[in-house]
Chains A and B, each alone.
Chain A
Amino acid sequence: MIIPDSYPWELGETLGEHLERRGISRREFLGFCSRLGVMLGLGSLMGPSIMEALAQQRRPSAIWLSLQECTGCTESVLRTADPTIGDLVLDLISLDFQENLMAAAGHAAEAALHDAMEANRGSYILLVTGGVSLAEGGIHTMIAGRPAVEILREAAEGAAHVVAIGACAHWGNIQASNPNPTEAVGVGHIVTGKPVVNIAGCPPIGDVVTATVAHILTFGRVPELDADGRPLFAYGVRIHDNCPKRANYDAGQFVEAFDDEAARKGWCLYKVGCKGPVTFSPCPIIQWNDRTDWPIGAGHPCIGCTERHFWDTMTPFYGRLPGIAGFGIESTADVVGAALAVGAAAGVAAHAVVTGVQRARHKPDEIEKEEV
């Protein structure tokens, strides 16, 4: 996707025509659309419909803003699986501005941004990594001599869809953690009046970004979101409910200390701090780096990075979550996690309730009110 279009589209060409010219068979494309359907929670039978819709797409412009962040989310998108076809999904867009990769710098880069915004006003997809800082008029994140928050506002105004990629764009992330020295906030705090999709995670799995963009292109709207603006297809599942170590949990087979005999049998990490029971994320299903592995699979507890304020609510990371169903009150270790438990457990309950109500709603101001 770095070369947004190494097989460029001809003017006026639809995706279907483009693929045909490119030598990608209908069968390959259908296979991809079916996998996409499964990822989006629509089932593989939706494959033909997705293919139909995608094939008629013409190439929209996308603008990618990098704001107050660490660039890990961009790196994550560069690691999307399914190299040939996976790239294609992002090839569906014309990536007209991306600071980490673009050839031009300085004025020439700024000109590229403004030209893309002007030429595609009202129709481009805005992808944002990083949040913005509000303290002292935004002086802590300046780009081209201007506060990032101004650039975000401008770019969002002409966007058809806004996708906030990663925890910084979602809610501000680590820099917004206690005591939030720069008054960092997420994209949804600034952009109102149109839906903001939050691809949660620090960083999120690149494939979730790809699938979300594909959804927007296929259906012309953002996917269904939970109370926190996260796509349900990815964040409607709790790690604990899909964890391959769940059987160990149910059987009371726990790692008591890292690298003990239980760890060497790959048992459950709940007692060494796993936050899987209160974290909604597709990690166990989609996995990481072309399905190579995922954090719990590699022996480390989940740190809950797809949940808001996880640096404050999920820490200490190695403190045990108390009071999970199936357990009595634990002893000393639970004291460590007591503060966390209240917040996290309330979060789960609220999540469950609000998720149900929220399905059909996409107005960000309402989502803001319902933050948990």
Chain B
Amino acid sequence: MARTKLVVDPITRIEGHLRIEVQQENGRIAESWASATQFRGIEIIMQGRDPRDAWAFTQRICGVCTVVHALASLRAVEDALDIRVPPNGVLIRNLVHGMQTVQDHVIHFYHLHALDWVDVVSALSADPAGTATIARSISPWPNNSETYFREVQDRVKKFVDSGQLGIFTNGYWGHPAYKLPAEVNLLAVAHYLDALDWQRDVIRLHAIFGGKNPHPNFLVGGMASAINLDDAQTINAESITKIRDMIRRARVYVEQVYWPDLIAIAGFYKDWAAIGGGVPNYFAVGEYPETDIRDLGSLYLPQGIILDRNLNEVVPYDESKVREYVTHSWYEYAGGQDVGLHPYEGETTPRYIGPDPPWEYLQDSERYTWMKAPRYDGKPMEVGPLARMLVAYASGHEDVRGLVGDALGRLQVGPEALFSTLGRTAARGIETVLIARRLETWLDMLVDRIRSGDVSTFNGEKWDPSTWPESAQGYGFCDAARGSLGHWVQIQGGKITRYQCVVPSTWNCSPRDPEGQRGPYEEALVSNHPLVDPERPIEILRTIHSFDPCIACGVHVLDAEGRQVSEVTVQ
């Protein structure tokens, strides 16, 4: 067996530090390992903190997913202390999270993922008139003239001629896996540049409600941004108008640029609808409550689990069936290396056992990552836009069914195409259209409430710790851009005693478990997966990027138990 061992480290165009190792055989990937190579210990740092501060700490788990850990934390604390958020607070949080997801997905497509499919150098030989014709045939977007594309092409040409390629240095340009005609490459390059300005504009919604982005401010019990139509320093008619404009610009861009581009590009890569399928189980925790988070029926995107790709049944989710394993991770469990712990019993004792750096290979080591291995009822689960769209589709969600049907029809593929690298990327686009449209509805709901005289954004009944029980515990969830996120908090005497997160990239970037089941990245890389040239592993990047990895999130490691903390500090 002539297998070639291969390491890709760093995996770039992601958040955080990820290392992929594979074994290649006859042009295909035979075996794979995903290693997260950063640990920050934030969960340990949470111990003894005021639960009302927790959102700010956990928000710093990730500056790309800058809303979702705050939101999950707020919900965990509000669950523990039985705090009800006023409807305006719920809607404002939806607007902030929804815009985050839309902006994040678009950035992912153009700035993190596109270069896996788009050959920048090839765009130089495009006929700008041809690009304009293609652009006009797929979208009414006004900025699609030959002149515009010619100008972009000239800029790129000078850039390449200068010999200083900056971030494009050493890209896999000219690799036979690039299939787009030059004209489509030019279209994508133009929108890569254009999306930079767009993302900066629409995210200003966060500054209005949260003061800034990244890391906007939140508040246990609601939101701190008060509403008063008759004051200049609060949410008033002027801010609402600004928000409405941003939401409109977000939706139009998604409908007229991102979505048509995605479909056009996907049409040239239909073979990737049979590659990179991965684990057959999908988990969506659900998101966007339109009344209260406790009312699961009010979630715009439903909660549930798909097992073995069976779209005829949505299995109800029960958080008590989540376990985390560390058999192949650099942690130690007091009860033994093969047990699975529920987050309320979670432990985080880092214990590096592996080769001395510099590393050659980690694949020969029993333990190979800072990521734990979460399992649901013993099964690995894929989370993220694909899981959400599958659960919504199988639940009969009308908006999702319409968009999925439209996408499959345009690409002339069946629903099975969704279980793939391409399916993951397409599902992200579908979700972006869906949420970009829903933002307007949430804003209308908020405006209606204000009109009817309700301006409350915060419930302060249980703000004072003297109103809290002596001990409490709570679970907060959030279906983040990258997938299902859970925070579990335990509080005693007004302070956090234990804090545990199970994060989207922990699910997806999970290592093997005690039964040897691979995590979703690992399984996807061995699912009918090509790797033609080990020196230029573009195929690996396509599948890994289709998950939109966020490694700082994944190695959250926020467990806070005194005994373990002291163990950690003596090291």
Contacts and interface: CB of A to CB of B under 8 A. Distances in A.
A325 interface: no
B357 A139 contact: yes
Contacts of B192: 3
Interface residues of B, number: 105
A289 B202 CA distance: 10
B166 A181 contact: no
A259 B457 contact: yes
A37 interface: no
Contacts of A2: 111, 167, 196
A72 B228 contact: no
A146 B7 CA distance: 13
A142 B37 contact: yes
Nearest to A272: B224
Contacts of B463: 257-258
Contacts of A140: 38-41, 350, 370
B207 A298 contact: yes
B226 interface: yes
Residue of A94, A107, A137, A292 with most partner-chain B CB within 10 A: A292
A146 B53 contact: no
Nearest to A287: B207
A97 B357 CA distance: 23
29 contacts: A3-B196, A5-B162, A7-B155, A9-B162, A71-B16, A75-B66, A94-B164, A95-B166, A100-B14, A103-B12, A103-B115, A103-B167, A142-B37, A143-B37, A173-B60, A174-B40, A179-B44, A179-B565, A181-B45, A202-B215, A259-B224, A288-B207, A288-B212, A289-B203, A292-B207, A294-B212, A296-B211, A298-B225, A317-B52
Contacts of B227: 264
Interface stretch (B229-237, B263-271, B382-390): B229-237
A99 B19 CA distance: 13
B162 A8 contact: yes
A75 B214 contact: yes
Interface stretch (A76-84, A225-233, A352-360): A76-84
Given A2-B196, A315-B49, A318-B53, A99 B64 contact: no
Contacts of B52: 316-318
A175 B40 contact: yes
A372 interface: no
Given A108-B170, A112-B169, A140-B40, 16 more contacts: A3-B192, A59-B164, A71-B552, A101-B111, A103-B120, A104-B12, A104-B170, A175-B40, A182-B41, A258-B224, A259-B456, A265-B233, A288-B211, A289-B203, A315-B53, A316-B50
Contacts of B244: none
Interface of B, secondary structure class, is: loop
A356 B154 CA distance: 51
Interface string A125-155: 0000000010111111111111100000000
Interface in B52-81: 52-53, 56-57, 60-64, 66
B569 interface: yes
A282 to B, nearest CB: 13
A303 interface: yes
Contacts of A74: 63
A266 B226 CA distance: 8
Contact of B204 (A4, A11, A290): A290
Given A264-B228, A318-B53, A105 B234 contact: no
Nearest to A297: B211
A263 interface: yes
A177 B45 contact: yes
Contact of B225 (A135, A136, A146, A299): A299
Contacts of B222: 258-259
A192 B362 CA distance: 33
Given A75-B214, A290-B200, A292-B204, A257 B460 contact: yes
A288 B209 CA distance: 12
A191 to B, nearest CB: 20
Most buried by A among B166, B232, B359, B541: B166
B50 A315 contact: yes
Contacts of B203: 79, 289
A107 B127 CA distance: 34
B11 to A, nearest CB: 6
A356 to B, nearest CB: 30
Contact of B200 (A69, A79, A133, A138): A79
B295 interface: no
Given A136-B352, A136-B571, A300-B224, A4 B37 contact: no
A104 B10 CA distance: 9
Given A140-B38, A264-B227, A293 B212 contact: yes
Contacts of A184: 40
A29 interface: no
B11 A105 contact: yes
Contacts of A307: none
Contacts of B211: 288, 293-300
B13 interface: yes
Given A298-B210, A299-B224, A105 B13 contact: yes
Given A78-B200, A98-B167, A100-B14, A182 B40 contact: yes
B181 interface: no
A7 B63 contact: no
User: Which residue, A3, A9, A266, has most C-beta atoms of chain B within 10 A?
Assistant: A3
A75 B217 contact: no
A263 B169 contact: no
A297 B13 CA distance: 34
Given A143-B10, A300-B210, A71 B167 contact: no
B364 interface: no
Given A140-B38, A264-B228, A289 B193 contact: no
